[in-house]
Amino acid sequence: MQPSQLSSGDVIADRRADYAKMLDEGGEPQAAAELMEQALELAPHWAAGWFRLATYREKAGVLTEAIAAYRQVLDLDPQDIFGASLKLALLGGGSIPEAPPSRYVERLFDDYADRFENSLVEKLDYVVPQKLAALVRAAGETFERAVDLGCGTGLLGPEIRSRVGYLEGFDLSQNMLAKAAEKRVYDHLGQADLSLSPQASGLFSEAMPKHRADLVTAADVLMYLGNLESVFAIVTDLAAVHATFAFSVEDAGDGSGYHLAPSLRYAHSETYVRALCGRHGLSVERLERTAIRKDGGKPVPGILFVTHR
What percent of the chain has pLDDT above 70?
Answer: 98
What digits encode the pLDDT tens for the residues 113-124? 787 777 776 677
Side-chain-side CA neighbours of 142 within 13 Å: the count stands at: 7
> Residue 84: pLDDT band by 50, 70, 90 thresholds?
very high
> Residue 1: pLDDT band by 50, 70, 90 thresholds?
very low
* Residue 61: φ, ψ to 5°: 85, 10
CATH homologous superfamily for 3-95? Tetratricopeptide repeat domain (1.25.40.10)
CATH homologous superfamily for 116-308? Vaccinia Virus protein VP39 (3.40.50.150)
What's the confidence (pLDDT) of residue 112?
Answer: 75
| 96 secondary structure, DSSP code | P
Question: Model pTM?
Answer: 0.90
What digits encode the pLDDT tens for the residues 28-82? 999 999 999 999 999 999 999 999 999 999 999 999 999 999 999 999 999 999 9
Burial class (CB in 10 A: 0-12, 13-18, 19+), 257: middle
What's the confidence (pLDDT) of residue 202?
Answer: 95
Radius of gyration of the chain (CA): 21
Task: Read off the pLDDT of each residue in 13-20 and give the average, rounded to a whole number.
Answer: 94
> Residue 229: pLDDT band by 50, 70, 90 thresholds?
very high
* Residue 215: φ, ψ to 5°: -145, 130
Task: Read off the pLDDT of each residue in 277-301 and give the average, rounded to a whole number.
Answer: 93
Task: Read off the pLDDT of each residue in 185-200 and give the average, rounded to a whole number.
Answer: 96
What's the confidence (pLDDT) of residue 3?
Answer: 54
Each domain of the chain, given as residue ranges in start order, spans 3-95, 116-308
What's the confidence (pLDDT) of residue 306?
Answer: 97
